[in-house]
Structure 1
């Protein structure tokens, strides 16, 4: 799979590290990887097309900068966006299962939505089968999860790591009214994860972003403890979110690492130098012939 710098393509990726500098959402996750692998956009569009969503949907990845950093922003354009969605989980599950998605992408998509459904069920005190998605049932959220599923499927044999997550502050307006941040579903999804409060207001980890992390943790071995692992840096990607933060760029960074010793920046060459005195050309010719052989 080609990377930003062609020379990097010869280095196998063995681990991926997510840094939620600004936070994490579904579109930020897609943006960060598309910053390095824009060719995955074709696979994402194919998956979206197979879902046969009720509205005409376009998705793209565009270069984006905030005057401090430059990266990529994943955009989803819904022809007829609704103010509110009511998507029963069981209906959505059937649609996903019947879409004809590649098996790995299908299992990733179902897995991420299952994480969301289980968290919502606990928050509202109902069975997962009775969950009705609102914000995460919107067309753009479905596309974000499809994109994440394609990306995860494209990196099958890697270790996943994650830095500390930003806590966020304040409230968010939902179909259930105002909710404290982090949202209750996010709190349920990310039990056991390490957080830090950087003083920034607003939602820093969305339910979709939290579900992706929980899926990676339970199904792909995501860890927040990379201590002691020696590895070589290959490249990194920056994915922008839509919000603006007060004191930092709203980005998610993904860093690609290769195994230690697999380096394109180092090559050792051995040089032998010596001086020869008082030798005839005939003797030197014989000596050179031996060296060449």
Structure 2
């Protein structure tokens, strides 16, 4: 399995991601050919080498005359303090952008990913502005350069044969951002919405470190987390244009996953036999055991002395969480004692990716081992879709499983 890890050392923008993948070895001619299949002409592409704080990097130099080249192209000298952005190109609706993508010459998977990115972006904009998604008019992020940046990442992942994309915490700078409607706090509202649930880190730099386009791309296609266990093979640096106290670059490390093996570790099993607690009260008790750090919680029906029916409440946790889970079990149930024992477990390494579906992106958990692999959609995502669209859960699962199968065959 090939994996790529995106580190936002100085932030990320759509063109910085494009440049980083180029620097990591994506074929420039093949990439430009694919982008010409999205928008045939009216733009130039002349990547060049630059140096940012002593780091040699690639600058994408994708320019669309007639549109403000600064719009989503990250950290320009005139806006380094406040991240000023102005848009002079056409205002496109989500339908306009999706039509450009759908009639493009991108591969089916590339189109699916690009559509998923813009749908996620449209949903964020709709929430921020309190309007229906069909009423959203994209400004900076509807310009041709942003559309090409989105497509470029989707194409580069295929050119580099990347199976899994991981991303570091998102850096957040200081100051204010000047956009189409005025000054906004950093990060601007749509970016802030896209980053809900994703790790972020403060950086003492005045300026917009992560653009809305980059946030949409990475939160749709990547999964958060620390650097994965991998064998690095290629490293690429994509440059912005401003100079800060930190290198204004995005780094992409491409490599292969280490051989999958069962990870061995110690865990604690906590149990209590309970015969005097109302069945309805177990739901909250289990919820709070998970909140205390339990890895799994389950109930087993048992028969106690004098033929009395009862329940064994069991939980598994890492040793460092033993005290918290035991206290929760004692506090949230009627038991007066908890048994604890140590066991060893072997687990296969699990990865979390996303798959594009007709309902939008869905998280997928995948494990591999013993020459076999399996993938399963995240249940919480299926449940959310079923509730939002008033659909039967089995129907949502069938459609998503089909999308996972198609993705695995590409």
Under a length normalisation based on structure 1, what TM-score does the superposition of the two structures give?
A: 0.76
Note the residue ranges of structure 2 that are not aligned, 5 or more in a row.
69-86, 261-410
1:1-293 equivalences under 5 Å are 14-39=2-27, 41-52=28-39, 56-81=42-67, 83-85=87-89, 86-156=91-161, 158-217=163-222, 222-226=223-227, 230-245=229-244, 247-260=245-258
CA contact (8 A) 1:14 1:257 kept: yes
CA distance in 2: counterparts of 1:186 and 1:124, whole angstroms: 13
1:84: how far off?
Answer: 2.2
Between structures 1 and 2, the one with greater strand share: 2
What stretches of structure 1 move > 4 A for 4+ residues in a row?
none
Tell me: higher relative CO, structure 1 or 2? Use CA pairs within 8 A at least 6 residues apart.
Answer: 1
Instruction: Tell me the SS of whatever aligns to 1:167.
Output: strand
CA contact (8 A) 1:164 1:224 kept: yes
CA contact (8 A) 1:19 1:162 kept: yes
Which residue number in structure 1 is paired with residue 324 of structure 2? none
Instruction: Tell me the SS of whatever aligns to 1:234.
Output: strand
CA distance in 1: counterparts of 2:212 and 2:48, whole angstroms: 24
Which residue number in structure 2 is paired with residue 274 of structure 1? none
Kindly provide the CA deviation profile for residues 142-177 of structure 1, in whole angstroms up to 9, marking residues without a partner as x: 121121121123355523222222111111111121
Instruction: Tell me the SS of whatever aligns to 1:254.
Output: strand
CA distance in 1: counterparts of 2:249 and 2:106, whole angstroms: 29
1:184: how far off?
Answer: 0.5
Instruction: Tell me the SS of whatever aligns to 1:197.
Output: strand
Which residue number in structure 2 is paired with residue 272 of structure 1? none
1:258: how far off?
Answer: 2.0
Distance 1:170-1:99 versus aligned 2 partners, 3 A rule: same
CA distance in 1: counterparts of 2:200 and 2:46, whole angstroms: 31
Instruction: Tell me the SS of whatever aligns to 1:173.
Output: strand
Note the residue ranges of structure 1 that are not aligned, 5 or more in a row.
1-12, 263-293
CA contact (8 A) 2:5 2:165 kept: yes
Distance 1:95-1:232 versus aligned 2 partners, 3 A rule: closer
Distance 1:171-1:29 versus aligned 2 partners, 3 A rule: same
Count of residues paired in the alignment: 241
Measured on the aligned residues, the alpha-carbon RMSD in Å equals 2.0
CA contact (8 A) 1:43 1:150 kept: no
1:38: how far off?
Answer: 4.3
Distance 1:38-1:152 versus aligned 2 partners, 3 A rule: closer
1:67: how far off?
Answer: 4.8
When structure 1 is superposed on structure 2, of 207-216 and 72-81 the one drifting more is 72-81
CA contact (8 A) 1:108 1:153 kept: no
CA distance in 1: counterparts of 2:257 and 2:88, whole angstroms: 46
Under a length normalisation based on structure 2, what TM-score does the superposition of the two structures give?
A: 0.55
